[in-house]
Amino acid sequence: MWCRGFLQQTVRHVSSRQAGVIFDVDGVLVRGSAVIPAARRAFRKLLDSNNNFLFPTVFVTNAGSCQRHHKAQQLSHLLDVQITPEQVVLSHSPLQMMKSFHDKCVLVSGQGPVTHIANTLGFQRVMTMEQLSEHHPLLDMVDHSRNPTLPSSPPQSLPQIQAIILFGEPVRWETNLQMLIDVLLTNGRPECGYDTQLSAQLPVLACNTDLLWMAEAPSPRFGHGMFLLCLESVYRKLTGRELEYKALLGKPSLVTYQYAEQVLRQQNCNRRLNTIYAVGDNLMTDIYGANLYNRYLAQRHAAVTTTTRLVARGMGSEVMAEEEPMSAIQCHSILVCTGVYNPRFPLPSDQNSSIMETVFHGHRDLVPEPDLMEPSHMVEDVEAAVDLLLQQEGSDL
């Protein structure tokens, strides 16, 4: 049976036992711009004789400096497989659902075409860090070699900033840290002086909490989570309070996995999936998030009524169950050893939980629970992960 619609040429519906696959990208399929050799072999096994996917498949990455169609083109070229933009979920993709912010003046931070990305997601009034610096040149004083040039005439006043969107790590961390603090401590009016006793904080929407990520270098590189850690530290030092987030998006947040499952279900002719397999290389994002989502699914299906409000511990995220239980039954996490995770170090357990409490690479708002960082399966690489998936679902092919 073939699903009609945007994925008709790439995804085959599995009718007997329905399974879907979530692939991380960095450290699983690629390292920087180099494809991991096992990835191409894996995807040859995931396609039928007509080059259609055997299972609904999405690529969920915490990258956020590009558009979905660009990531799809990149992956198609690297993997030699036709991947559509609809199969790609970026860290900022769920922002489409946050319509209450779409008409507010938002300040965006990150790399790439951030204004275009924000507009595509539905945000109508977007201000970049560069625009803010251009209008207020005296704000950026860290680099002494770049003396600010004052405009000959007073610049046109900017509207009050009503929310902040952090897409990903910026290029100039010091400039972004300075001006984000300026905006936060002036309630969106950085031309004013600080007020560290503001009664309410501007809403902050942060995408991608990865502390580390894997590129071509032999060791992991700093991710957006490291930048967030710096911002949180500066804010706490100046105000004595914790920086609050209106939303944390990207893995391991529940909303990202809900969004990914929705995409999988669309490929599956809007039919429910029984099992989702989530393949990743990072314990703190891929495995934690998949296990957190599996816990949520278990709670949801065990609920007495489908209208019960469920709270999945770990991210403290509150999710309203749908009227009909369309969600999957379970989510299996599969850890590969080609990225951030180093097999020379032990997996979290009750025996080393005290070490984990002092060395925890998850975001501040994550609860360090060892069971959420234990994968359902651990394999060498993504080809082995696909072999496992085919073995588990082989009777249905």
Identify the pLDDT of residue 116: 96
β-pair partners for 334:
279, 377
231 shares a domain with 102: yes
Output the pLDDT for position 65. Answer: 85
Q: Which helix (H) or strand (E) holds 239?
A: helix 224-239
Mean pLDDT, the chain, integer: 86
243 and 301 share one domain: no
Asked if residue 50 belongs to a domain, the reply is: yes
Q: Is residue 9 part of a domain?
A: no
Choosing from 230, 248, 266, the residue where a domain stops is: 248
130 and 42 in a common domain: no
Residues 193, 301 share a domain? no
Regarding whether 263 and 381 lie in a shared domain, the answer is: yes
Residue 321: predicted pLDDT: 43
Whether 10 is covered by a domain: the verdict is: no
List own/partner pairs for 76-80 with CB under 8 A and 24 or more apart: 78/29, 78/30, 78/35, 78/39, 79/29, 79/35, 79/39, 79/40, 79/43, 80/40, 80/43
Whether the per-residue pLDDT at 94 is higher than 70: the answer is yes
Could you give the angle at which helices 224-239 and 173-184 cross, rounded to 10 degrees?
40
CA proximity to 169, closest of 215, 231, 83? 231
Q: Which of 233, 248, 263 is the last residue of a domain?
A: 248
Considering only 218-222, 255-259, 329-333, 342-346, which range has the smallest mean pLDDT? Answer: 342-346
Is 374 among the domain residues?
A: yes
112: left (phi over 0), alpha (psi -120 to 50) or beta: left
Does 271 share its domain with 170?
A: no
- Domain of 378 in residue numbering reads as 19-91+252-308+327-344+357-395
Taking 50 as the threshold, does the pLDDT of residue 4 lie above it? Answer: no
Amino acid at 130: E
Does 12 reside within a domain? no
**What are the structure tokens assigned to 100, written together?**
């209450």
User: Does one domain contain both 175 and 224?
Assistant: yes
Q: What is the 3-state secondary structure (H, E, C) of 311-325?
A: EECCCCEEEECCCCC
Both 266 and 389 in a single domain? yes
Same domain, 102 and 243: yes
pLDDT digits (tens, 9 = 90+) for 337-381: 999 998 887 666 545 555 455 567 788 888 888 899 999 999 999
279 and 365 co-located in one domain: yes
> Do residues 99 and 236 both lie within one domain?
yes
Task: Flag whether 127 is in a domain.
Answer: yes
Average pLDDT, integer, range 297-308? 69
Q: Where among 248, 283, 299 does a domain terminate? A: 248
Q: Does residue 352 sit within a domain?
A: no
Is residue 67 assigned to a domain? yes
Give pairs for 343-346: CB < 8 Å, separation 24+. Answer: 343/378
- Please give the pLDDT value at position 301: 83
pLDDT at site 346: 66
- Beta-carbon contacts of 355 under 8 Å, excluding residues fewer than 6 positions away, are none
d(CA 17, CA 5): 21
pLDDT at 221: 92
Per-residue buried b or exposed e for 236-270, using 16+ beta carbons within 10 Å of the residue's own CB: eeebeeebebbbbbbbbbbbbbbbbbbbbbbbbbe
In this structure, the answer to whether residues 138 and 181 fall within a common structural domain is yes
Q: 């008409």: which residue's tokens?
A: 103
| Model confidence pLDDT, tens digit, residues 197-232 | 888 999 999 999 999 888 889 999 999 999 999 999
Q: How many domains does the chain have?
A: 2
According to the model, what pLDDT value does residue 64 have? 85
Whichever domain contains 288, its CATH number is 3.40.50.1000
Q: Is 121 exposed, middle or buried (0-12, 13-18, 19+ CB in 10 A)?
A: buried
